[in-house]
Structure 1
Amino acid sequence: MSANRSERTGSAKKNSAVNRLSDGESAMLFETSEDVKIITSFDQMGLKEDLLRGIFAYNFEKPSAIQQRAIAPILKGRDVIAQAQSGTGKTATFSISVLQTIDTTRRQTQALILSPTRELATQIQSVVLALGDYMNVQCHACIGGTSIGEDIRKLDHGQHVVSGTPGRVFDMIKRRNLQTRDIKMLILDEADEMLSKGFKEQIYDVYRYLPPSTQVVILSATLPHDVLDMTSKFMTDPVRVLVKRDELTLEGIKQFFVAVEKEEWKFDTLCDLYDTLTITQAVIFCNTRRKVDWLTEKMREANFTVAAMHGEMPQKERDAIMQEFRSGASRVLITTDVWARGIDVQQVSLVINYDLPSNRENYIHRIGRSGRFGRKGVAINFVKNDDVNILRDIEQYYSTQIDEMPMNGTYTCWSFKQYAISSILTCFAYYTFLNSVRSGLIFTT
């Protein structure tokens, strides 16, 4: 499929050296190809003037670590694998690269961005349009659950960039409404899920219709070895910008677990937490759609105000719920992993894993919903007796320590108001939690 693309790329020699970040970011290590240079200013990247205006209007002052390393090789036309923590600016990395590459005087689709969820595809469209505000760029979100007629109308009108989910994009290609002959760049966002069993064949279906010279860029917070091996099928000598797995734990996010012993005790634990703390905005993750519906109903019966979202809801309803949550009209969202990847709501300060994720790679995506782009956040995991091994596996996989939250001695629910209990005051995790409270991440009532 990509055999004819090798002539445009040079060799990217693998470098075992590691670049340390500056400006307070030295805790994170990036393993890169040796020809990757660090560019610390947007002004030094040779970007279009109108694009720079859009970047600064978006309140970006300095490129993040992944942007400093990945934008330049993408702009050189290289295939790139870029990995960084959630909330560090991956979406802007490829959005800036796409906007610099396209020719807005031509109304053909020149860049295709694929994402695993409709919400993420729509968010990417918003970022592209915002950064390209001074460029007169046309970008359409081509996603399932929306009007096919509207997709056809928009695509026939001409779109420089298409951001979409694989199924709907492939449908538009087969209908010949999405013309692929001028596509120069394919972006796979959240590549670990995109290339997993559920999306791999759809990606291959789309890729077969692209020109042989198409540049491929993949980005994700996690890139397991099997995914890296798989990329050899459609990438040519890619430049790698990688962060070591043992550095993947999210900087600035305090992680705790609560031992609830039994599934039946989780709800009371959550109610106690919800009743005790005033939260800016929070996301509660469950493993199944049925659990989301059940928990939402139980919380509302207990007179708690919550919103819920999962993949079985109509797209219009999901869009309305997302808009309410982004605007702050709703403060607590109960959801499945459909919300775990890439969705950016800046005010989220707390993530609760009502169920531990069944896939350990999803843990970092979930807790990354708090602490976006360097902000502080808190992640709390509800752990049953038979979940202990899962928790230990997560700790080992990410080389992190998840501290136990202090408890009321007679019950698994927390009693944060009883700060004077001397036995609790000796608990290191409690001090850590209090620091989070004092720094404004969580507010006690």
Structure 2
Amino acid sequence: MSTTVPPADSPLAAVSEGLGEQAWIEVIQKMDEVYNDLLQYEVALEEKNAALEESHQFIESVLASMSDILIVCDRNGNIEEVNASLCHFAGKDQAALEHTPVFSLFADDSERARAREVFARFGREGVHDCEFFLRAGDGATVPVSMNCTPRVSQTGKLMGMVVTGRPVGELRRAYQALRQAHDDLKRTQGQLLHAEKMVSLGRLVAGVAHELNNPISFVLGNVLSLKRYAQRLESYLGAVQAVDNPELKALRAELRIDRVLADMPLLIDGMIEGAERTRDIVDALKRFSAVDKMTPEQVSLNEVVERSVRWVVQSASARFAVSVDLPPRLICSGSSGQLQQVVMNLVQNACDATINQPEARLKISGLVENGMACIRFIDNGPGISEEHLGRLFEPFFTTKPVGQGTGLGLSISYGIVERHGGKLAAANLPEGGAEFILALPVESS
């Protein structure tokens, strides 16, 4: 079939040429539209890529910040994704863990078999707080509380599982810290109740001491007068005895006047001693019950130590020998009541520490050096264990059985000594026993 081409100068050729230019114009317009669409698609794709990258970085930061172990597995139990916590726990990088069976992380064959059984049985429902033993990177066997959640597609098809876990040691430490805080709170509550009781007791003691003060003074004054009268009576009876009168001599022998005269000074001295001791006790009770003012006063450390030793020794359930060797006139500025509280606490602790010793002893000695009085309290007890030595002055720390100590005595004493510009330290002696050193600034004599 042949085609007839019209001549170039014919009217038909002119029409064909016009139609070809129009077609090219339309083609160019379409190409511009397609190019504009491609540019818009490229911009939208770049925005979506940026959002995807930001989301990916966010997920990676979340995974890296997790302290719990995270493992993403496929349906066959092979690892697809892990976080930094698992890498640190297992001692391997992510590349070495990917595409390996998750059960290879377990400690031994029995743990792997148990994990397979549990995950197979409860995989679709999820496993919660099930404890397994995993092998750490250093070879140690570590108990881990694990949770397993199924991972499904949009159509509900099982794609694998997500496993999370936390070493049980961390949980136990958290529970132990919580329990310790609860015990400390209970002890604090008990201490507050005890403090309230002590306030009430102080008021009661103050009233009793005030009421006892007058009759004791009356008794002591009368006994001293009776002592003077007894001396006069003894002189008079001696003069009467010098008279040669058989009846008086017989009556003297019958009434045992000589024996009465011999016993009377001892009896009167005993009554004076008892009255003076009672007066000292009343005075100490008044000091105990008085509100301790923070206004500095001149305090004799010799009297504080002597009074504290007397109180503790008198109330000790067993024999407790205390020797005191202090320089004379140890005078410091501070609160007499607070310093007595410190010394009594140190003496009482020594008494408690030596209660099981055949001969419980405490030696208190002191010297003055560079304006500081250093008083040493040395007992013959078992000493202080090294693990407890650094915690003696911590609040609520005590080595005594529950109910026998609040753990506040040494802590409060440490604070009192610091407020007085001194220091309180503890140590063990090479020959055995514990030593507490109380250092306080004293005035030069």
Give the TM-score range, shorter chain. Answer: under 0.3
Structure with the greater alpha carbon radius of gyration: 2
What is the TM-score with the length of structure 2 in the denominator?
Answer: 0.20
What is the TM-score with the length of structure 1 in the denominator?
Answer: 0.20
